[in-house]
Amino acid sequence: MACISPDGTLTVAGRKVLAAFQTAQTSEDVAASTDLPLFQIRGSLRELAAAGLIESSGGGYRITASGRERLAKAP
């Protein structure tokens, strides 16, 4: 499940997962709140972290300032 399109914009799935990280901290929390399988969330984590949109924080993850900005610009 790609989170970032080839043109650099967030996909629908990417927006959904990134938005969930505004309140959730663990991949399990995001899976529960998005109704997506945990294996897809874990793949999304790697992609969003590589893009600098989320970061590891105290055993979980949090959305970065760049991630909040990208999410705010998403349609």
pTM comes to: 0.85
What are the residue ranges spanned by the domains of the chain? 12-67
* CA-wise closest residue to 5 among 29, 72, 14: 14
What is the Cα 53 distance to its own chain's centre?
A: 7
Full pLDDT tens readout for the chain, 75 residues: 688 888 888 998 899 999 998 887 788 999 998 899 999 999 999 999 999 999 987 878 889 999 999 888 877
CATH second-level architecture of 12-67? Orthogonal Bundle (1.10)
C-alpha dist (Å) from residue 13 to 1, 17, 36, 38, 71: 7, 6, 9, 13, 12
